[in-house]
Copies of this chain bind each other. A is one copy, B any other.
Amino acid sequence: MSDRQPGATNSLTDVAGIRVGHADRRVGGWLSGTTVILAPDSGAVAGVDVRGGGPGTRETDLLDPRNQVERVHAIVFSGGSAFGLAAADGVMQRLFKAGVGYPTGGPGEVVPIVPGAVIFDLGRGGDFTKRPGAGMGQEAYDAAFSSPDGPALIGVVGAGTGAIAGGLKGAVGSASVLLADGATVAALVVVNSFGSCIDPLTGELYAARFGLLGEFTQLLPPKADEVVAARADAEVKIFPGGQGRLGAALATTIAVVATDATLTKAQCAKVSGIAHDGMARAIRPVHTMFDGDTVFTLATGDRGAPDMLAFHALLEAAGDCLTRAIGRAMLAAESVQTPAGLLRSYRDAFPSAFPATP
């Protein structure tokens, strides 16, 4: 717990100039989607750290601090495993049409820089072939403009539509915090982890103890019978019949951290690295060979560059924001009925954790 305060929406869009759009399908064999995080038109300085053992990514090599391109124009997260990388093509098309990209010559001759990462959710809606492509990337891009000043939507949306987290329903989460120097740090995450977000002995969210004042303090310790039932259910969900019809044995948690501070590419990579520690506090185990866990960081540079102590505070906040975003994802998730069975949300698995409505 901390005396820090979240931003106005406690979400990624608290960083000025960052937009978030989701597109997804839940019927006709589908249970998947795409989430786009748009930088301001001039781009954001970016970095990445890939720590999962089974990543699916694109355009991460250019983020090496040694390399030329400094700014990216969007980050695309998608379901569909490697097939979902196609969603970024649709986002590139939209950005190109808008004239947004790395300038290469004459007017309009731009190349949008769109790194991305995918989660495994194939077949969870019943049809292995229903997965995001370029069209869904375009839809997500368009959605990012539909509510210009609103919070980033969280829950079972976008790239989190087919997510599972340790046998419970996974989702998109987000959180933000205001730093003492006035900078904002925020995170958005798609929680689709092999490991669990809850303590198997108590049913409590690991993330809950790292919340800001009032963020998770209303949660009660779940009743023992719910804890036992959830543990049994998670085991079935993870290795059903040894083959994983829900594909829960293949996973990946992906996140973006954003800030309005001015950072170098190398600093953005460092922020991504320490954000993985925040992931480790909220998910156990994490970064396994079944997870492609990847964190991008975007720095819009609206504010100045932090000095050493301010950068330290920013790093600490980045880790905590990602932890909190994961906790908020689990609380925002709703249960989803799939052809292979019910994917229960934290709320439905642990009703005793929530105080009765007065």
Contacts and interface: CB of A to CB of B under 8 A. Distances in A.
Interface of A: 50, 52-62, 64, 66-69, 81-83, 85-86, 88-89, 92, 96, 104-106, 108-109, 111-114, 120, 122-123, 128, 133-134, 243-245, 247, 250, 289-290, 292, 294
Contact of A81 (B54, B89, B111, B243): B111
B54 A62 contact: yes
A45 to B, nearest CB: 16
Chain B CB count within 10 A is highest, among A62, A109, A245, A294, for A62
A243 B105 contact: yes
Given A105-B244, A128-B108, A245-B105, A53 B68 contact: yes
A133 B86 CA distance: 10
Stoichiometry, copies per complex: 2
A83 B61 CA distance: 16
A129 to B, nearest CB: 8
User: Chain A's interface: helix, strand, loop or mixed, by majority?
Assistant: loop
A111 B122 contact: yes
Q: Which 7 A-B pairs have CB atoms at the shortest separation, nearest pair first?
A: A58-B58, A86-B89, A54-B68, A55-B61, A68-B289, A50-B61, A57-B61
Contact of A105 (B105, B133, B247): B247
Contacts of A294: 61
Given A57-B58, A85-B89, 15 more contacts: A57-B59, A58-B58, A59-B85, A61-B292, A61-B294, A67-B289, A81-B104, A81-B111, A82-B92, A86-B89, A104-B250, A105-B123, A106-B243, A106-B245, A111-B122
Chain B CB count within 10 A is highest, among A58, A82, A96, A105, for A82
A55 B62 contact: yes
B104 A120 contact: yes
A49 to B, nearest CB: 10
A345 B144 CA distance: 47
